[in-house]
Amino acid sequence: MELVRVTGGASLSGSVRVRGAKNSVLKLMAATLLAEGRSTISNVPDIVDVRIMNELLRRLGCSVTHDREQGVVAIDVPRSPGVRADYELVRAMRASICVLGPLTARCGSAEVALPGGDAIGSRGLDLHQSGLEMLGATVRLSHGYFVASAPDGLTGADIRLDFPSVGATENLVMAATLASGTTVIDNVAREPEIVNICEMLVAMGARIDGIGTSRLTVEGAASLHPVDHEVVGDRIVAGSWAFAATMTGGDVRIDGVNPSHLDVVIEKLELAGATVETAEASLRVRGPKRPVGIRVSTLPYPGFPTDLQPFVIALNSIAEGSGMLTENLFEARWRFVRELARLGAKVRVDGHHALISGVTKLSGAPVEASDIRAGAALVIAGLVAEGVTEVSGVDHIDRGYEHLVEQLLNLGATVERVEVPDPVDVVLHE
């Protein structure tokens, strides 16, 4: 098995480039299914989730080429794509659910495996289903698959989301672009990734009003055409680096992101004692000698992103005084706390709240990543721990962070990726 082995003590310095957002590129790739022909997506990060989406699209009959160096994916979508998204791929990446809307709208049917919950929560999909049903599709669960059907096409409708779900907003706005008539979707998600997707749909010929607001009005089109589109910079990866600079007392310039997508994050880091300078597509973060505890509540955008929650807990674990984190999106996003406690962190979880009492020093230990963000935050915590921290479950990190170890080395960290015999495997084969 692979481990990331971190030796604590370095304060990060230098610059790091962030490429496109995982939580946008996967949906942009799914949106290409809405039009026959060749679309290209640029500023694509070299992460495992993109490779899984490449495979998913190939199984739907698309030809996909991915230049990982240049960060470009070219997708040739056939006249009649397949409509079945297999369980084994959806199990590996729940974002696969975002082909449900485009396939139902373009092909009149879709069969997408139900992704199920994961390490951070139950993750319902009822808003996806009820929204598609309001657009005139029938959606039923059969043998573990969402089976959607709209043989006569979709029809525009007024939809109000109970919660500004990112995934439901994306599936429904994509589906509405090919529905006949007007669709109004109220209480939609407003993340920069949603804006990025809507801009691509408009470039494909869709008519969408209210982009970036909580109400989207979509005029259905008879057909859309392929495009070339660029992925918006990854604010979550950039935020991860900003926390790393703050926690290590470092000085890091982060290129390739729009700082305004991180306003609330920058505000909190400044409260923790960091100095943050911003420019058009970059930010420079200088960390204090020791951060101060901060209080954060995760919320849909423009609130504080839940995906940076583990970094808030890690920062507060070594901060002066105490800090508090309230998780409002994912009820089970606490597995990280158990692992951080192995490094000596003092965290008490009570329902949606975590109270963190800062300690002067964490101490290195073997820990396990349970999801993408928890994994990266454990590596960063290892940078401020005494001795060596070994992080397993590296495959989670690779799903959302490209070349994390190489970039950390460039910033002066002592870190390596190593292969070690899997102790369970050894026992099993004795």
State how far the Cα of 37 lies from the Cα of 80, in Å rounded to an integer.
Answer: 11
Binding mask 175-194 for ligand EPZ (x = CB under 6 A): --------------x-----
- Catalytic entry in 46, 118, 186, 395: 118
Which position among 4, 33, 148, 168 is part of the footprint of ligand EPZ (CB under 6 A)?
168
Q: How far is the CB of 298 from ligand EPZ (least distance, A)?
A: 9
Task: Kindly state the smallest distance separating residue 401's Cβ from ligand EPZ, in Å.
Answer: 10
Which residues 6+ apart lie within 8 Å of 65 measured at CB? 73, 74
* Contacting residue, 11, 104, 165, 316, with ligand EPZ by CB under 6 A: 165
Strand order in the sheet with 251-255: 13-17, 251-255, 282-286, 275-279
The residue number with the shortest CB distance to ligand EPZ is 167
Q: Which stretch binds ligand EPZ (CB under 6 A): 126-134, 136-144, 251-259, 358-366?
A: 126-134
Binding mask 82-121 for ligand EPZ (x = CB under 6 A): -------------x-------------------------x
- Nearest 5 degrees, angle CA 324-CA 305-CA 308? 65
How near is the Cβ of 21 to ligand EPZ at its closest, in Å? 9
- As measured in angstroms, the least distance from the Cβ of 394 to ligand EPZ is 15
Residue 115: which of 196, 171, 188 has the closest Cα? 171
CB-based burial label for 7 (10 Å; 0-12, 13-18, 19+): middle
Query: Residue 69: how many CB atoms within 10 A of its CB?
Result: 7
Q: Is 29 in the site for ligand EPZ (CB under 6 A)?
A: no
Strands (E), 340-428: 346-350, 353-357, 362-363, 366-368, 385-386, 388-392, 414-419
Binding ligand EPZ by CB under 6 A: which of 6, 62, 337, 372?
372
209 is catalytic: no
Q: Enumerate binding residues for ligand EPZ (CB under 6 A).
A: 22-23, 26, 95, 121-128, 163, 165-168, 189, 306-307, 329-330, 372-373, 400
Q: What amino acid positions are annotated as catalytic residues? A: 118
